A = this chain, B = another copy of it.
Amino acid sequence: MSDRDDHVPGGYEVEISEGRLDVRAGGVEGVVNALTTLRQLLPANAWRRGAAPEGGWSVPCGIVADRPAYAWRGAMLDVARHFFPKRTVLRYIDLLAAHRFNRLHLHLADDQGWRVESRRHPRLHRVGSWRPSTRLGPDGVADGTPHGGHYTLDDLAEMAAYARSRGIEIVPEIDVPGHTSALRAAYPELGEPGRDQAVLDTVWAGGSSISPTRPVVAFLQEVLEEILDATRAPYVHLGGDECDMSWWASDPVIAAEMAEHGYTDVKQMHGHFLRSLGGFLAGLGVRMVVWDEAFVTGGVLDDTIVMAWRGHRVAERAAASHDVVRTPLFPTYFNFDQSGLPQERRSEGGPITLGDVAAFSPAPGEWPAERRARVLGGQFQIWTEWVPAERHLDYLAFPRACALAEVLWSGEILDLPEFEARLAGHLERLDALGVEYRPLDGPHPWQAGGTGVWRRAQSGRIEETRKWVESISHEP
Binding site for B on A (CB under 8 A): 45, 48-51, 83, 85-87, 90-91, 129-130, 132-133, 142-149, 152, 154-155, 157-162, 165, 389-391, 431-432, 434, 436, 444-455
Docked complex Cα distance between A475 and B406 (Å): 63
- Whether B444 contacts A144 by the Cβ 8 Å rule is no
- Whether B450 contacts A391 by the Cβ 8 Å rule is no
- Whether B146 contacts A434 by the Cβ 8 Å rule is no
CB within 8 A of A50: which of B161, B444, B448, B452? B161
Instruction: Report A70 CB to chain B, min CB distance, Å.
Output: 27
Docked complex Cα distance between A197 and B431 (Å): 31
- Whether A129 contacts B446 by the Cβ 8 Å rule is yes
Closest to A448 in B: B146
Once A85-B434, A144-B455, A451-B144 are accepted as A-B contacts, the answer to whether A49 and B445 lie under 8 Å apart by CB is no
A147 neighbours in B (Cβ, 8 Å): 446
Taken together, the copies of this chain in the complex come to: 2
Docked complex Cα distance between A82 and B434 (Å): 17
7 A-B pairs with least C-beta separation = A144-B452, A148-B446, A50-B161, A144-B451, A50-B158, A130-B446, A86-B434
Docked complex Cα distance between A390 and B436 (Å): 16
Instruction: Report A163 CB to chain B, min CB distance, Å.
Output: 9
Instruction: Report A452 CB to chain B, min CB distance, Å.
Output: 3
- Whether A165 contacts B434 by the Cβ 8 Å rule is no
Docked complex Cα distance between A316 and B424 (Å): 56
**Besides A132-B451, A145-B453, 14 new A-B residue pairs in contact (Cβ under 8 A), listed by A number:** A45-B154, A48-B154, A50-B158, A50-B161, A50-B162, A130-B446, A132-B450, A133-B451, A133-B452, A145-B449, A147-B446, A148-B444, A149-B446, A154-B431
- Whether B445 contacts A146 by the Cβ 8 Å rule is yes
Instruction: Report A130 CB to chain B, min CB distance, Å.
Output: 4
A448 neighbours in B (Cβ, 8 Å): 146
- Whether B90 contacts A146 by the Cβ 8 Å rule is no
Docked complex Cα distance between A165 and B48 (Å): 14
- Whether A162 contacts B49 by the Cβ 8 Å rule is yes
Closest to A90 in B: B49
Instruction: Report A476 CB to chain B, min CB distance, Å.
Output: 39
Once A146-B447, A147-B446, A446-B148 are accepted as A-B contacts, the answer to whether A436 and B133 lie under 8 Å apart by CB is no
Instruction: Report A169 CB to chain B, min CB distance, Å.
Output: 14
- Whether B446 contacts A146 by the Cβ 8 Å rule is yes
A49 neighbours in B (Cβ, 8 Å): 90, 158, 162
- Whether B434 contacts A87 by the Cβ 8 Å rule is yes
- Whether A144 contacts B450 by the Cβ 8 Å rule is yes
Closest to A389 in B: B389
Docked complex Cα distance between A143 and B152 (Å): 34
A158 neighbours in B (Cβ, 8 Å): 48-50
- Whether A143 contacts B452 by the Cβ 8 Å rule is yes
20 A/B residue pairs, CB under 8 Å, sorted by A: A49-B162, A50-B157, A50-B158, A85-B434, A85-B436, A86-B434, A87-B91, A87-B434, A132-B451, A144-B453, A144-B455, A145-B450, A146-B445, A147-B446, A148-B445, A149-B436, A149-B444, A149-B446, A154-B431, A155-B434
A132 neighbours in B (Cβ, 8 Å): 445, 450-451
